Each structure stands twice: as structure tokens, then as C-alpha cells.
Amino acid sequence: MALVLTEEQSMLRDSARGLISDKAPVSHLRSLRDNKDPTGFSKELWHSFAEMGFAGLLVPEEFGGSGLGFVEAGVVMEEIGRTLMPSPFLATSVVAASALNRGGNAAQKSEFLPKISNGSLLATLAIDEGAKHRPLQTSLQAVRAGNGFKLSGAKALVVDGHVADLFIVAARTAGAAGEREGLTLFLVNPKAKGVAIERTIMVDAHNAARIELANVEVNADSVLGEVDQGAALLDGVLDIGRGAVAAEMVGLSEEVFNRTVEYLKNRKQFGKLIGEFQALQHRAAELYVDIEITRAATMKALQALDADVAKAASSVAVAKARAGTTATRAVQEGVQMHGGMGMTDQFDIGFFMKRARVCEELFGDANYHTEQLARARGY
Amino acid sequence: MSESEPADLEKFREQTRAWLEANCPPEMRKPVTSDTDVFWGGRNTKFASEPQRIWFERMRDKGWTVPDWPREYGGGGLSAAEHKVLRAEMARMGARPPLSSFGIWMLGPALLKYGNEAQKKEHLPDIAAGLIRWCQGYSEPNAGSDLASLQTRAESDGDDFVITGSKIWTSYADYADWIFCLVRTDPTAKKHDGISFILFDMASKGVTTKPILLISGYSPFCETFFDGVRVPKSHVVGTVNRGWDVAKYLLQHERAMISGMGERGVGRPLGQIAADSVGTDAQGKLDDSMLRGRIASFDVDEAALAACAERAVDLAKAGQAHPAFSSAMKYYGTELNKRRHEILMSAGGVNALEWESERSRQGARPRAWLRTKANSIEGGTTEVMLGIVAKRILDLPGA
């Protein structure tokens, strides 16, 4: 498959870009932040998103979605990255929809997927517990009780956790933290007894929450996939999320880079445009190449996910590792080359730096994925 | 990843695989580790081994020394898609290229685009058949990457040009039969406007070469001197004084070729090479965590670059490629190749320091390491490549 967008994918990009740049430029995020918006995103915009078919992009047509692929999801994520639009798209439409699609039984799919498609249900994956992304270190306990389970433990960085209508919680039904066997995914109602949710105001002004579960009762129908066998399902779902976040970081990197190059062409110092200085030209050129290489690696990963999620792990590791490193470099150069202006809150560049930091931690940072690649290659 | 192919391409793949399996000798399926592992062709050539001769002749007879050139010029007449299949199938079995030559990588594409019919007929089949070995007369002393400041002059004398001057860094000039050369045909014109691209025989009266000994202990480069060399004007490719167009086009191919050098015949993965040399810990991990980290980062970047190279081809096919993108690839590919060889030296430790011994195959590893340091200088330095990206792709203001 060619590593360029098809005509249909380009049209999808244009329509996503049109809506997002029009309705949600960076000032949109700024205003949500400044007003301490309780929802953290625009519900109105989310409904427009759903009407255009984006909310159910990955949902099969039989459940009311568009049945498109991960390359298409990446196209939308990249546009989201350009303006930093806060949106339930990643948590609900990419990660949760994929979890339900891949792991759900007929009843679970027909209950939840149509609502995800029409934008009426928000869902999210609750996975990380410690400071760093370590899926196998899950220790939140699920103990059998009667016909179901009782869940106890805590999760950090649950994206959209305070607005979600459905949690997909990774829990340990057997084994010890660090082991692959014994992981199970549960569908949990955030309103269930024993669930405590704390919205965490994060550095990037996007939505996340810490949640605590104290003997939360769920019935046997709440198991997503097989008991004790959740790791394989989780691997696939996380790789899908990683591919999507890599695409967001490509969009973010390119946007911050374009703004920086424009600045180099207009800002004068020492009687010259600063873009004439070779020291800055070469750094800009290196960054351009970094972004192009990362874009290609990300497309490759998304295509690999479309071909076979179970075989995409190495491509995804390459993409997420590259995207993290490149985005970090792009925002650092962005601030540095904008000089003092880059340090001001009034200027937008800082928003990109903050979002890049969050994207880097989300689903594993560059170190994590570089390590994964080394392990996969057996050294 | 499996991709769906048209039925005829799938058939071509099957046939190609079967033919390669039947015709590529086992000795030609090993990584290239030294210059003699590759056949370079030319009048004075010798094959390093019988399998090398067999492999070359079988591929030549199919036109597969230059698979995508037209059949009338000794090529294989393959479409871009078929060529990609052939490359993939050769890579799959680790087959060595049957013939390496600057004629294939650089002059051929330029002649196909700018040469007249007589020039194509005269030169292309000989390149394909490995009969004539070419060298490139571009750089001059004191010019370096500032290529257009060249001084070698060609003065008109009837039907001939008379060429006087000298070139430097002429790769394998001492082995080459012919040279493709940039000369100044109009000294009064602007820097880029008075240059012509001309071909001549290295056996011509007035041509001398002198090898340059490098830090690797090898002499892949020469100084080349022209003292009143008489060359027919019909040997100019393209238009007189418009040689810069040809030169630039050829440079794109050269840069693409150099950026791909890291991929050629490297053999086993770095992590395995290092593990054999350094050892592993109780968990089976390379017993030098910093080195392991460097290798893993390298692997990430190399895989990403491979995706980018693939995308560059796809963009070109889709008509969306930027003409200066080969400079971006050249910069990154050569810097990455230098990193690879630093890691190889580090992984080899003391054993990689041997310079003269059978055990070390006469210091193959340190010599290769030293050779790579030229990658980011030859064909335009990294700094020149970054300047091209800055000005031509990013449109930053010129100084």
C-alpha cells in the first residue's frame, strides 16, 4: 500500500480540517481553560463531529458507524493536533470503540457502539496506576463475588474520566502485578456505588481524572473479552491508541513547526531576518526532516494496524517513539526560536509544548517504546 | 504487511522468486563486506570468483543489471511496480547486486533524460553489460561542495573542445574507462550558466590520475589532471553551457544512492552483533545497557527512515514529491550510517581495533567505520544539504 493518502482520505482530512480550524482554533482551548469549563470540551462541537460521522468513524456500519480504518482515524487525530482541540474523539471514538469492537460480545456491542456513533455516549479506558505507563503492572483487584466481581483500586490519568458515561477498567483477576496472565477488562458505570472521581486539572488543560474504586460491584456481563485473558485484547487496543496519539503528535509538531518557520521569515534582529542566520536555518531543516520521517513512520504504523492489529506492534512502537521525540524537539525549538514571546502565556506556542508533554506520557513514552522494540528484536 | 497486488504482478513476483532461487548462487546471497564482494565492470575488470561471474552474466542476460531501463538500451524494461517487486525479492533472499557502477546510478539516468539518441545507443548498453566503467569529474581543488565554482576549462577548437584543469575526489578514477565531467565552456557567463557536461575516454592523451590515500588506508578517490585533452563536441550531453541542469539532475540520483548506502548488505541486526560480542545478562538482554539503548534508538530511527524512503517513492509516483527532498534523505541517511558504524565499533570493542590480520579480514570493520565519515561530505556535505532544505523546501530567506 502506498504511503500517501488516497483521494477519499484527503477529502476526509479537508473536511475535518475545515470544521476544526473554523470552530476550534487554539483560542477555543484557551477559552475553555480560562473559564474553567466544567465539561472541558464543547458539547455542541462534539455533536457536529458526530453528525459528520467522525464519532463513529471506527464503528462498523451495522452499529451505525462509518466502518473506516485507523489511517482515517489518524487523519482526524492529526487535525486535532494542529489546533489542540479538546475532544472525546481519542478516548471514546478510537480507544473505547476499538475495545468494544474487538472484545465485546453481541449484547455489549449493540448496547454501546450505536451510542458512540451518534455521539451520545462517552467512554474511556482506565489503565495506568503508577507514574509511568506499565500495562502489566496493573494491580487494581477484581475479586469474584456472587454472580459478578468486586473491584478495588485506583487509576491515574483517565482521559475524559470526569465526563465519561462508561469506564473500561483494566483489573487483575489473577496473578501479580507485572504478570501477563490474569488481566481482565471490565465495563464499569461511573455512577456505580463506590466510584470516586477527581477531575485533575492538567498542564495542557485537557480532560483527565483520577478514579478510585472501593468494592465496586459489577455483574458477570460486565466482563469485556475473557476473564484472565485481557492482555492480548489490551495490547491491540493500546496499540490503536498509540497510533492515534502518534498522529496527533505529527499534527502538533507540524503546526508548531510551520508557525516557527513563519516567524523566522518575519522577525528581524541585528538588521536581518532571523531566518537568514545559518544556525537557525540548519536547525529548522533538521527538524523538518525529523517531522517528515516521523510522518512516514506513523502512516506505516496506521496502515499496519489496518492490515492486522496483532502484527502491528513493532511499527507502532517505532511510530510512538519517533513521534514523542520529534514532538518534544518541535515544541522546544518552537519556544526557543520565538524567544521571549514563546515564553508568554499570551502567545499560543506554550500550549503546544504542554500538550506534547501529555501526549508523550500517554500510552508509553519514547523510552518505553524504544525498549519494546529492543525486546521484540531479542537483544 | 500483505498488500493486494494485481494478478499479473503477483504472477511476476512468483516467477521472479523462482528464477532468483534457481539462478542466484549461494555465495552471492551473503552480505557485502568489502569492495571486492561487488563486481564493478570495465575494460580491465576481473571477477573475484566464479559465482560472481555466473551471477553477473545471468542477470545481465535478463537485462536485470538495470532492470528499469528500456530493453533497447540493455535494460530489463520493467515497470516501476515490477522493479519494486524485483528489489524486494532480491532483498528477501539477501542477493548481492550483480553490478555496481556510477554508470548505473548516476550517468545512466542523466543520459536517459538529457542524452541524444546516438549517445544513448553508444553508452547505455555498455553500462548495462558492465563493459565500460565510469567515473565522475565534478569536484575540484578548493571548490568542494561549492561545485559551480569549478575552473576546469574547455576551449573551442574546431569540432573539438580542449580541456585543461584538474578534478579531485574522483572515485575510482584509476580504474575507470570513461569520465562524465563538468567543464567551464564560457568563463564570462554567470557561475552556473557557463558550464557544460561532457563525456570522454580516460585513455585520451593528456589524462593522468593519482590516488589519494585516506584515513581508512584505502584509496577510493583520486586526483585527476587534464592537460589539453581533446574531446569531440558531440560528446557534450544536453546543450553547451547548460550542463548545470544535467549536473543537478544527476546529483539527485547520487544523493538518493548515498542515502541508501546504509541499507546495502549490512547483514545481521546490530543488536545481535552486539550481543555476540558483548554478551547478555540473566534476562537475555545485552550486557551493556547504554549500548543497548543506543542500538534501540538507532533501530527506531532506521525503521522510520525506511518508511520515509518508501514514502518518498510513493510521493514521486503520485506526483507530490518535492524535487529537493533527496537532499533531506541524503542528510539523514548519511548521518544515520555514521551512527551505525560508531555503534559497530563500540560493540566490537577491542576486537574492532585490529587493522592488519586475517582474523579481522584486514581490519574490515575499522576501515568501513572510517569510510563512513565521508558519507556526510561526499555528494554535498550535510551542511549544504541542510542549506538546500532550508532555502528550497522551507523557503527561508537567502543570505
Tell me how far apart the alpha carbons of residues B344 and A68 are, in angstroms, rounded to a whole number: 44
Q: Which residues of B243-269 are buried (b: 16+ CB within 10 A; e: fewer)?
A: bbbbbebbbbbbbbbbbeebeeebeee
The shortest C-alpha distance from A289 to chain B (Å) reads: 6
Which percentage of chain A shows pLDDT scores above 90? 99
Cα–chain-centroid distance for residue A103?
Answer: 19
- Residues B91-108: tens digit of each pLDDT: 888 899 999 999 999 999
> Mean pLDDT over residues B231-240, rounded?
96
- Residues A93-143: tens digit of each pLDDT: 999 999 999 999 999 999 999 999 999 999 999 999 999 999 999 999 999
- Residues A286-329: tens digit of each pLDDT: 999 999 999 999 999 999 999 999 999 999 999 999 999 999 99
**CB atoms A3 and B383 under 8 Å:** no
B373 CB near a chain A CB, below 8 Å?
no
- Residues B112-151: tens digit of each pLDDT: 999 999 999 999 999 999 999 999 999 998 887 788 889 9
Tell me how far apart the alpha carbons of residues B359 and A78 are, in angstroms, rounded to a whole number: 53
pLDDT band at B53 (very low <50, low <70, confident <90, very high): very high
Residues in Cβ contact with B266 at an 8 Å cutoff, skipping those fewer than 6 apart: B31, B340
**CB atoms B314 and A293 under 8 Å:** no
Q: Are B188 and B158 in contact (CB under 8 A)?
A: no
The strand pairing partners of B232, in sequence order, are B160
Tell me how far apart the alpha carbons of residues B162 and B228 are, in angstroms, rounded to a whole number: 5
Question: What pTM was estimated for this model as a whole?
Answer: 0.89
- Residues A251-273: tens digit of each pLDDT: 999 999 999 999 999 999 999 99
Tell me how far apart the alpha carbons of residues B202 and B197 are, in angstroms, rounded to a whole number: 15
Tell me how far apart the alpha carbons of residues B396 and A282 are, in angstroms, rounded to a whole number: 10
| ipTM summary value | 0.94
> Mean pLDDT over residues B162-185, rounded?
95
- Residues B65-97: tens digit of each pLDDT: 999 999 999 999 999 889 889 988 998 888 999
Interface test with A, best of B300, B322, B329 (most A CBs within 10 A): B300
> Mean pLDDT over residues A78-95, rounded?
98
- Residues B281-333: tens digit of each pLDDT: 999 999 999 999 999 999 999 999 999 998 998 898 889 999 899 999 999 99
Interface test with B, best of A10, A281, A308, A309 (most B CBs within 10 A): A281
pLDDT band at B339 (very low <50, low <70, confident <90, very high): very high
Q: HEC profile for chain B? A: CCCCCCHHHHHHHHHHHHHHHHHCCHHHHCCCCCHHHCCCCCCCCCCCCHHHHHHHHHHHHHCCCCCCCCHHHCCCCCCHHHHHHHHHHHHHHCCCCCCCCHHHHHHHHHHHHHCCHHHHHHHHHHHHCCCCCEEEECCCCCCCCCHHHCCCEEEEECCEEEEEEEEEEEECCCCCCEEEEEEECCCCCCCCCCEEEEEEECCCCCEEEEEECCCCCCCCEEEEEEEEEEEEHHHEECCCCEHHHHHHHHHHHHHHHHHCHHHCCCCCCHHHHHHHHHCECCCCCECCHHHHHHHHHHHHHHHHHHHHHHHHHHHHHCCCCCCCHHHHHHHHHHHHHHHHHHHHHHHHHHHHHCCCCCCCCCCHHHHHHHHHCCCCCCCCCHHHHHHHHHHHHCCCCCC
pLDDT at B2 over 50: no
To the nearest 10 degrees (0 to 180), the angle between helices A230-266 and A313-338 is: 30
Quote the pLDDT of residue B265. 44
Judging contacts by C-beta atoms under 8 Å, the chain A residues touching residue B393 are 285, 288
pLDDT band at B5 (very low <50, low <70, confident <90, very high): low
Quote the pLDDT of residue A1. 82
pLDDT at B3 over 50: no
**CB atoms B394 and A285 under 8 Å:** yes
Considering only A24-33, A75-84, A124-133, B75-84, which range has the smallest mean pLDDT?
Answer: B75-84
Quote the pLDDT of residue A274. 95
B331 CB near a chain A CB, below 8 Å?
yes
Judging contacts by C-beta atoms under 8 Å, the chain B residues touching residue A297 are 303-304, 307-308
Quote the pLDDT of residue B1. 34
Judging contacts by C-beta atoms under 8 Å, the chain B residues touching residue A282 are 383, 386-387, 390
B324 CB near a chain A CB, below 8 Å?
no
Nearest-Cα residue of chain B relative to residue A373: B296
- Residues B359-381: tens digit of each pLDDT: 998 898 999 999 999 999 988 89
What are phi and psi for residue B225, nearest 5 degrees?
Answer: -120, 135
Nearest residue to A294 via CA among B12, B223, B305: B305
Closest partner residue to A289 among B284, B318, B328, by Cβ?
A: B328
Closest partner residue to A379 among B2, B292, B308, by Cβ?
A: B292
Q: Are A342 and A354 in contact (CB under 8 A)?
A: no
- Residues B186-197: tens digit of each pLDDT: 999 998 999 999
- Residues B28-45: tens digit of each pLDDT: 998 877 777 889 999 988
B390 CB near a chain A CB, below 8 Å?
yes
Quote the pLDDT of residue B37. 84
Judging contacts by C-beta atoms under 8 Å, the chain A residues touching residue B295 are 374, 379
